[in-house]
Every structure is written in C-alpha cells, then in structure tokens.
Amino acid sequence: MAELKLLFEHAHKPDFRTLKGYLANDGYKGLKKSLKMEKQAIIDEVKASGLRGRGGAGFPTWIKWNGIPKDKTQPHYILCNADEGEPGTFKDKQLMEECPFELIEGMTIAGFCTQAEVGYIYIRGEFVDAARSLRNAIDEAYAGGYLGKNIQGSGFDFDLYIHLGAGSYECGEESALMSSLMGERGMPRLKFPHAPLPTIAGLFDRPTVINNVETYCCAPYIVDRGGEWYATLGASTKNSRGTKLFSVSGHVNKPGNYEIEFGTTLMELLELSGGMKGGKLKACVPGGSSVPIINATDTEIAVIGYEEMAEVKTMVGSGACMFLNEHTCIVSFIWRTALFYANESCGKCTPCREGTKWMEQILRRIVMGNGQPGDMELLLQITEQIDGRSFCGLGDAAAWPVAAALRVFPEEFEYYIKHGTSMVKSAESKAMAPAWQQPVLA
Ligand SMILES: Cc1cc2nc3c(=O)[nH]c(=O)nc-3n(C[C@H](O)[C@H](O)[C@H](O)COP(=O)(O)O)c2cc1C
Ligand code: SF4
C-alpha cells in the first residue's frame, strides 16, 4: 500500500504555511462550512468519521467534544497537546512547522461546536521552528478574520494562544499539562472516576477539550468532505478510521514521517521507509518507546489498526515506529528506554518513583556485566507492581517495554546475565551503546 496523504498532502510546499497559500489549497473550507452548521451536526460528523485521538490512547474524539456542557454557564477551553515527548515521535512537529493552519482551523472548529472562546496550544519548548511557524500563522489568521472577534462575520469569537513548555515528558500527560499551563508544577491531577472529567472541570476547572495536534488537524477534512467519506479510509480494519502519521526511525534507509491509511501493514510501512538498513529485521517498537516490543515474526503479520495491533500484543500508540535490525542488543535497548522513564518520572507516586529507578538500576547492572540470577524474575515483579498501580500513565508506559522485552526476548537477558556480555556481538551493537558501556560489549 502506498502513502495516502491527507494532512500531509501540501506539506513541503512553503506557501502552505501562509494564509494565501492555505486558502489557495482549499484551506478553511471546513471552518466556513462549520460556521453555517448546527453545533451538534459538526459533532455528529466527527462521530460518523470514527476519528480516534492520535495522542496515544485512541479515545473517540466525538465523545470528548460531545461531553462539553451544551448550556454555557462558564468559559469553555480548547487545549492542544503539542508536547510530543514520546521518544521516537516527531509527526506533530512537522505538522506544526509545515501545516500550521490545519491545526488552527481544526481547533477553531472544535471551539465553535463546543462554545469555547479561547484555545491554547501547549507546545514543547524545544520546538522553536514549530512555534515560530504557528506564531506567524496565528498572526495571519487574526489579520484575515479567521481568529479573533466575529470570525468571518459569523458572530463567533475565538482567541488562540501558544504556550511553550519547559521540556518534560510528563507534561504531555493531559492533567499534568493543564497544571503546567496554570502555572503549577507539571504533575498529574486526580482523574475520573475519582475526579470530574476534563470536559466538566479541566483547565482552570472549566469544561475543556484536550486533543493531540494530529487529531485537530483531521477536523477540517472531516467537516468539509463529511464524516462518512472519512470513515471509508481504513474501512478494512475493525475500528480504526482515516489516515495515521507514523514517525519511522531505527535501522531503516529512509527514516521520516509517513502518512498511511489504517489497514496498511507494518511491512508496507517498512517498505515505504526504504527497507532495513545494516541487517535483517529483528524487532519493532511500533507506537513509541512505551509500547510493547514485538519480534520479526509478529512484525511480518501486523496490521496497523488499534484492535489489530493488540492481536500481536502491541499498540498503535503515538505512531512512532522503530525498526531494529539483527545487530541490536535488546537488553541495552531496553535499558536505554528504562533510563528515559526513570529520569522522567515526576516522583509523585511510589510505584513509579521507586519502580522506574529499580528497573533502570537492575538493567544497568546487567549491561555492565554484573547481572545476577533472579534478575529477570525481579524485573518482571517490578513491572507488575507498577503497571495499573501508578497515579498516571507514565508508570504503565515505563513498565510495558520492560515486561514485553522479557517475554519476547528472554534468551537475550539469560545470556547477558550468565555471560556478563551481550549475545549480540556485532560492531553495530557496539556503535549503538554509549561510550562508557562499550567495553562490556567487547
Ligand atoms: C506520560 C504521558 C505523556 C503523554 N504525552 C503526550 C504527548 O506528548 N502528546 C499527546 O498528544 N498526548 C500525550 N499523552 C496522552 C494525553 O494524556 C492525552 O491522552 C492526549 O493528549 C489526548 O488527545 P487525543 O485524544 O487527541 O489523543 C501522554 C500521556 C502520558 C501518560
Ligand atoms: S506514574 Fe506517578 S510518579 Fe510516575 S509520572 Fe505519573 S504521577 Fe509521577
């Protein structure tokens, strides 16, 4: 299956970043149509489209939009999660840099149908080019009457602000993001069912829709071409509709962002990315570093869809697909992943604060050649004590990769613990390891 470019159709065209260029390529058709529609009819189109959130969890978008109170008694907010901190993911960055008006239009449509008058884009601080591109586009949208008071003479007012985060993975978790935006520490808040949903009490304790960049970017196309049309994309899958952006990295010849239709296979995605580099396929982490790793056999049969990926015990996640070749030491790879989560744990809850550190330390001693009998069992036990027992999703995200690696590649851990060195002895493996670790692999 070839690439199917919907959101990325005009990416790479420099003038698509300007209002003039955006309008020349059918931009703002969705918003103009929306402004003449009933608010509920827009939400119904999103429902018909089958759009699910692209931030990782795949939650149906229309349910969030529909959950905002219809009788407005207080301010409503539209919030965009542009933190994109999951290792391997870089699709939102490209969307914001090259297609900023898609995001602005999508958020404005969401604002119109949920009666919100203010939107915030919480963008990762390092994304300077993306923030600059959005800043220019927002200025042009104000000047052109697509933001601000009385948008296109409709009587609808909508203001949009950019907020640059200070660079923390945890600030991508929606309640931590809201805390950070409100000037508090970027730590998560109590969630449903122990606290109201963000649609009832989100940002500033007001009704809030929070979606990922890619999710909002789909809205203009859904309204313009119809939810039913959108739902024809990906129709071969059980319940995944539309296109999905995948950030492909690892041992491939052409790493980059690819837009594919749901129902495409992982092998087709690999082919689009130029095939394997430096050796045969060994493993794949298809949806960002937090999703379970799968071996080559499962990669060869995996179909990209939320339910389909679950059949091979992994996930679509945020769409960051890492292909690993035969020279990859899985133990070292998982240790590097665990190191990331241990560093990013905010420390609020015990299972994650303690567990992520313990996992990293045990994996570190294994890759340093000091693994001990029982380390695999201990690691597994820790993953079980973190998974489902943490205050927010970061704990689960830290536990899943370790648990999956132990399940899928047990022989690599056994060998490393027994011999004090990796069973993968190729030069490529050494090159992947940080300098201080290389003597262990020699
Ligand atoms: C630790 C952690 C980090 C997250 N980082 C991001 C992120 O960078 N971008 C994002 O869109 N969602 C991220 N999420 C998911 C968000 O909490 C939330 O589900 C998402 O923004 C909802 O948007 P969607 O429905 O459009 O997917 C993260 C979740 C967790 C637990
Ligand atoms: S799981 Fe707990 S410690 Fe980890 S990031 Fe979430 S709240 Fe913080």
Among protein residues, the one whose CA lies closest to atom 8 of ligand 2: 346
Query: Quick one: pLDDT at residue 195?
Result: 85
Domain boundary among 275, 305, 325: 325
- In the reported structure, the alpha carbon of residue 72 is separated from the centroid of ligand 1 by a whole-number distance in angstroms of 27
Q: What is the mean pLDDT of the chain?
A: 94
The number of the ligand 2 atom at minimal distance from the alpha carbon of 344 is 5
Q: Are residues 70 and 169 part of one domain?
A: yes
The answer to whether position 7 is within a domain reads no
Instruction: Measure the CA–CA gap between 441 and 327, rounded to whole angstroms.
Output: 12
Residue-number span of the structural domain to which 307 is assigned:
243-325
**Which residue's entry shows tokens 């703002």?**
28
Q: Are residues 112 and 227 part of one domain?
A: yes
The answer to whether position 141 is within a domain reads yes
| Residue 441 binned pLDDT confidence (cut-offs 50, 70, 90) | very low
Q: Are residues 194 and 70 part of one domain?
A: yes
Domain boundary among 204, 231, 258: 231
Among protein residues, the one whose CA lies closest to atom 29 of ligand 1: 173
Give the residues surrounding ligand 1 with Cβ less than 6 Å away.
53-57, 59, 81, 83-86, 169-170, 172-174, 210-212, 215, 392-394, 397
Q: Are residues 65 and 181 part of one domain?
A: yes
Q: Is 170 in the pocket of ligand 2 (CB under 6 A)?
A: yes
Q: Are residues 201 and 71 part of one domain?
A: yes
Phi, psi of 191 (to 5 degrees): -120, 170
What CATH number is associated with residue 27? 3.40.50.11540
Query: Quick one: pLDDT at residue 155?
Result: 96
DSSP state of 65: H
| Residue 1 binned pLDDT confidence (cut-offs 50, 70, 90) | confident
- In the reported structure, the alpha carbon of residue 402 is separated from the centroid of ligand 2 by a whole-number distance in angstroms of 17
Q: How many domains does the chain have?
A: 3
Domain boundary among 299, 325, 351: 325
The answer to whether position 131 is within a domain reads yes
Instruction: Measure the CA–CA gap between 265 and 259, rounded to whole angstroms.
Output: 13
Measured from the alpha carbon of residue 197, the closest ligand is: 1
Q: Are residues 141 and 290 part of one domain?
A: no
Measured from the alpha carbon of residue 389, the closest ligand is: 2
Among protein residues, the one whose CA lies closest to atom 2 of ligand 2: 349
- In the reported structure, the alpha carbon of residue 165 is separated from the centroid of ligand 1 by a whole-number distance in angstroms of 14
Instruction: Measure the CA–CA gap between 113 and 392, rounded to whole angstroms.
Output: 30
Instruction: Measure the CA–CA gap between 241 and 235, rounded to whole angstroms.
Output: 6
Measured from the alpha carbon of residue 52, the closest ligand is: 1
- E strand intervals along 262-391: 281-285, 294-295, 320-325
The answer to whether position 133 is within a domain reads yes
Query: Quick one: pLDDT at residue 434?
Result: 53
Say how far residue 71 (Cα) sits from the centre of its chain: 32
Dump the DSSP string for 371-400: --TTHHHHHHHHHHHHTTTSSSHHHHHHHH
Among protein residues, the one whose CA lies closest to atom 20 of ligand 1: 55
Q: Is 169 in the pocket of ligand 2 (CB under 6 A)?
A: no
Q: Residues for the chain: how many in total?
A: 442
- In the reported structure, the alpha carbon of residue 191 is separated from the centroid of ligand 2 by a whole-number distance in angstroms of 13
Q: Are residues 183 and 69 part of one domain?
A: yes
Instruction: Measure the CA–CA gap between 261 and 236, rounded to whole angstroms.
Output: 10
The answer to whether position 4 is within a domain reads no
Instruction: Measure the CA–CA gap between 16 and 174, rounded to whole angstroms.
Output: 30
Q: Are residues 275 and 226 part of one domain?
A: no
- In the reported structure, the alpha carbon of residue 85 is separated from the centroid of ligand 1 by a whole-number distance in angstroms of 9
Instruction: Measure the CA–CA gap between 245 and 261, rounded to whole angstroms.
Output: 9
Instruction: Measure the CA–CA gap between 25 and 383, rounded to whole angstroms.
Output: 49
**Tens digits of per-residue pLDDT, 304-327?**
999 999 999 999 999 999 999 999
The answer to whether position 47 is within a domain reads yes
Measured from the alpha carbon of residue 64, the closest ligand is: 1
Q: Spell out the residues 6+ positions from residue 355 whose beta carbon is closer than 8 angstroms to its own.
A: 382, 383, 385, 386, 390, 395, 398, 399
Q: Are residues 343 and 211 part of one domain?
A: no
Model confidence at 429: pLDDT above 80: no
Distances (CA, A) of 60 to 201, 236, 252: 19, 18, 32
| Residue 166 binned pLDDT confidence (cut-offs 50, 70, 90) | confident
Q: Are residues 265 and 117 part of one domain?
A: no
Q: 290: buried, middle or exposed (CB in 10 Å: 19+, 13-18, 0-12)?
A: buried
What CATH number is associated with residue 404? 1.20.1440.230
Phi, psi of 268 (to 5 degrees): -70, -35
Percent of the chain clearing pLDDT 70 (strictly above): 96
Q: Is 390 in the pocket of ligand 2 (CB under 6 A)?
A: yes
**Tens digits of per-residue pLDDT, 270-309?**
999 999 999 999 999 999 999 999 999 999 999 999 999 9
Q: Are residues 224 and 161 part of one domain?
A: yes
What CATH number is associated with residue 320? 3.10.20.600
Full-model pTM: 0.95
| Residue 440 binned pLDDT confidence (cut-offs 50, 70, 90) | very low
The answer to whether position 8 is within a domain reads no
Model confidence at 146: pLDDT above 80: yes
Q: 183: buried, middle or exposed (CB in 10 Å: 19+, 13-18, 0-12)?
A: exposed
Q: Are residues 285 and 220 part of one domain?
A: no
Cβ distance 361 to 338 under 8 Å?
no
Model confidence at 431: pLDDT above 70: no
Model confidence at 215: pLDDT above 70: yes
The number of the ligand 2 atom at minimal distance from the alpha carbon of 349 is 2
Q: Is 399 in the pocket of ligand 2 (CB under 6 A)?
A: no
Cβ distance 157 to 118 under 8 Å?
no
The number of the ligand 2 atom at minimal distance from the alpha carbon of 353 is 3
The answer to whether position 415 is within a domain reads yes
Instruction: Measure the CA–CA gap between 384 and 315, rounded to whole angstroms.
Output: 19
Residue 258's H or E segment, with its range, is strand 256-261
